[in-house]
Structure 1
Amino acid sequence: MKVPCILVVDDEPDNFDVIETFLSSADYYLHYASNGYDAIASLEDVHPDLILLDVMMPELDGIEVCRQIKNRMKWKAIPIIMVTALNSKEDLANCLESGADDFIGKPVNSVELKARVKSMLRMKIQYDQISEFSILQRNTINTLAKNMDELTGNIAVSLSHELNTPLNGIVGILDILKNNLADFDDNEISDLLGEAQHSAYRLVNLTKRFLLYLQLQLFGINKGSVQESFLSLPIVELIVRRGARNYDRAKDLLFDIEEGEIAISEDYLLTILLELVDNALKFSQKGTPVKVSSEVKNNMMYLSIHNVGKGMTSEQIAKIGTFTQFDRETYSQQGVGIGLKLVKMIAQVVKGFVNINSTYGQDITVTVGLPIFSASQPN
């Protein structure tokens, strides 16, 4: 948790010493300014969470300092406690009218000072939390607005199709079993349940990919410690062959893997491999090779997937986006066009990149650059 920072403004250094002593039992950073001009000038560097401001100061008194701070939108939310020897109602009214949030009389009482400081800092924390939530809401709204065409256009066609197809399959199989169960033997029932299970897995996979897209789009990657995974031939083979089951293409897979430790979580590495290999198998003919290779160079791992097949035009590559599929009317395919977009988003948040080289109608190579993990990387 961040240690609160308090700016003490007083032309008498002895007064600062008193306040420092009173607050020494609490975990605060204290900064001192000996006049109003220095106080205002220090805001950019200090970024205080609270200001203890003496009223009676030469040249620029505390009331004017308070007024100038509160008139600036950037600093308006900083709570200010006026420290004053004045006690008339008019004087206190002037403090409040200048924008002060509270005041405390001189000589300063230790118990009262601690209580008022604690109260004001609690209010500042609550304000900051509300502001952060407001920013998050605004960013979410902006993101959704920016992608509205995708969410109301392509998604209406592709996502609805991908949801309805397996759902209809599951519902249809359950209806058949419910109404005609006695007509089927055990093997037939097992086959029907297998089809339903396949459709259910397809729905689960689609949901996971869509949720991952939303997570990356709205929140980015987890800001915690740098994660690592080991890219090796056995791991790559295991993941890629798992993705190739639906296409019966195990014999078409080729591997040329240079191993290495990379700065990316295993989940994200799994997503990259499955998405790219799925695309390579989907848009190439059975019997044509799909090659997965990796190379370590310049402190980066270059992971490439190459296939002979449909390929992409330069215009299509430039337009890669969420829920976008090209030539769908020509090439029958499952999916919502989210694969390459997910790969690019993951690469971006781990400070990597994606390059696509293709000759339309012939072949395509997708290369993902991922940073090599170093023990010296910051956590």
Structure 2
Amino acid sequence: MSQFSLLIVDDEPDNFDVLETLLSEQEYELYYAANGQEAIASLDLFNPDIILLDVMMPGIDGLEVCRQIKAMSKWKAVPIIMVTALSSKSDLAQCLTAGADDFISKPLNGIELRARVHSMLRIKQQYDSIQNLYHIQENTVNVLESTLNELRGNLASSLSHELNTPLNGILGTIGLLKDDLEDMDIAEIREMLGWADESARRLEKLTKKFLIYLELELSASRHHKIESARTQFSASAIEAALKSQAQSFKRHNDLVLALEEAEIALSDRYLSTIVYQLVDNALKFSSPGTTIKVSSQVVGKMLNLSVHDSGRGMTEEQIAKIGAFMQFERKTYEQQGIGIGLKIVKKIVELAGGEFSITSIYQKETTVNITLPIVGN
């Protein structure tokens, strides 16, 4: 587990000892500031991933410290959890208005504290991933020149839509909570937090997908093969993962699996990406009640994997344009995505030394076939 840094701001040293005890089993690096001025002055020194900020302090109180930190562009993304003895709705609303990301009431409960810190760190990690994506894009301009027209056109418009939709869901939910929190009951708050969580997970999935794509493009541009790895192509593990994936579409009964096992020369992360993307496409582009067949077979030194669906199918022209960052007939079918899934699969397979092919009959069926090298005995 990566070590995260937490800055605790409290004018009572005993409270630091309490927090240190409650968080002792977590791999967090804890720092302490005795007042607001000291906390602000130490930000560059401690570089915190999260801030636990006491509301009631002499001098600059916690609310003002929160406002000042959130006004700094370098630190505005760092989650701030207000630690408060106040409990009225108006007091808690003040914390949110000041820019706090969460709050926890005294006396502190260890389970609740760890859960809230974990939740805020997950949000911080998501923000950092987006920032890393931005820097990777800056450093790979030469790699992306070959697809510049697509990036300006299809990718630019679809990526913007796919990013803005979940972001608007998150920001909209937070806005409603900030404006109406005092008048909401717990059931309404839980429901709205569910909306925000769903949007955050969608954004996380898109970010991870694009990061994998850029990683593969860099490897291809440098003529590097994927680092050697050994992963068991396990029928039981894959079946469990695919059943869960199909269940999210309420289609677990549509899956037909015929899997032969082998040890392949590919990392578990890339193997999971391949299987997930192929089945995700089959689920999205075929109707409930139609069969999706996933099969694998060892042939010589290769594992042949195929995913077949009786769905929309593709024309020869559409197959030829895979990797052009577009979703075909999107206006007609309104599915989510940026048309990058098959491109990622194709890249992984080719960099692993395998083969990728698609056979399809338009408006009838599609079969994606790939081969992956088996680890030698």
TM-score of the superposition, structure 2-length normalised? Answer: 0.60
Q: Which amino acid aligns with 1:189?
A: I
2:365 pairs, out of 354, 363, 366, with 363
Post-superposition offset of 1:326 = 0.7
Matched, 1:256 2:243: no
Q: 1:183: how far off?
A: 3.4
Which residue pairs with 1:284 in the alignment? 286
* 1:311-362 CA distance string (max 9 Å, x none): 1011111111142111111111000000000000000100011111111001
* Helix, strand or coil at the partner of 1:330: helix
Unaligned 5+ runs, structure 1: 1-138
Residue matched to 1:328: 330
Preserved contact between residue 162 and residue 335 of structure 1 (Cα < 8 Å)? yes
Tell me: CA distance 1:185–1:277, structure 2 relative to 1, closer, same or farther (3 Å). Answer: same
Q: Does 1:191 align with 2:224?
A: no
Q: How far did residue 223 of structure 1 move?
A: 5.8
RMSD between superposed Cα atoms in Å = 2.0
Q: Which moved more, 1:235-244 or 1:150-159?
A: 235-244
CA-to-aligned-CA distance 1:5-55 (integer Å, 9 cap, x gap): xxxxxxxxxxxxxxxxxxxxxxxxxxxxxxxxxxxxxxxxxxxxxxxxxxx
Where does residue 202 of structure 2 map in the other structure?
Answer: 202
**Would the aligned equivalents of 2:224 and 2:351 in 1 still touch at CA under 8 Å?**
no
User: 2:219 touches 2:225 (CA, 8 Å); kept in 1?
Assistant: no
After superposition, residues 91-170 of structure 1 pair within 5 angstroms as 140-170=140-170
Deviations 1:50-75 (CA, angstroms, capped at 9, x unpaired): xxxxxxxxxxxxxxxxxxxxxxxxxx
Does structure 1 retain, via aligned residues, the 8 Å contact 2:310–2:366? yes
Q: Secondary structure at the match of 2:314?
A: coil
Contact 1:239–1:273, Cα closer than 8 Å, also in 2 = no
Name the SS for the 2:330 alignment partner. Answer: coil
Deviation at 1:291, TM superposition (A): 1.3
Match of 1:64 in 2: none
Deviation at 1:286, TM superposition (A): 1.2
CA contact (8 A) 1:159 1:323 kept: no
Number of residue pairs matched by the alignment: 238
Give the Å deviation of 1:151: 1.2
1:236 is aligned to 238
Q: In the aligned structure 1, how far is the partner of 2:290 from the partner of 2:177? A: 39
User: CA 1:156–1:224 in 2, change beyond 3 Å: closer, same or farther?
Assistant: closer
- Which residue number corresponds to residue 354 of structure 1? 356
When Rg is computed on C-alpha atoms for both structures, the one with the higher figure is: 1
Please give the alpha-carbon distance, in whole angstroms, between the structure 1 residues aligned to 2:339 and 2:375.
Answer: 30
Find the aligned partners of 1:341 and 1:223 in 2 and give their Cα distance.
Answer: 16
**Identical aligned pairs, as a percentage?**
51
How many Å apart are 1:241 and its aligned residue? 2.5
Contact 2:229–2:267 (8 Å) recurs in 1? yes
Report what 2:181 is aligned to: 181
Partner amino acid, structure 2, of 1:214: L
Tell me the CA shift for residue 184 of structure 1.
3.0
Dislocated runs of 4+, deviation >3 Å: 139-142, 220-225
1:302 alignment partner, SS class: strand
Counterpart-to-counterpart distance in 2, 1:285 and 1:191 = 29
CA separation of 1:169/1:325 partners in 2, compared to 1, >3 Å: closer, same or farther? same
**Counterpart secondary structure, 2:248:** helix
Report the equivalent of 1:226.
228
Give SS of 2:177's match.
helix
Structure 1 length-normalised TM: 0.60
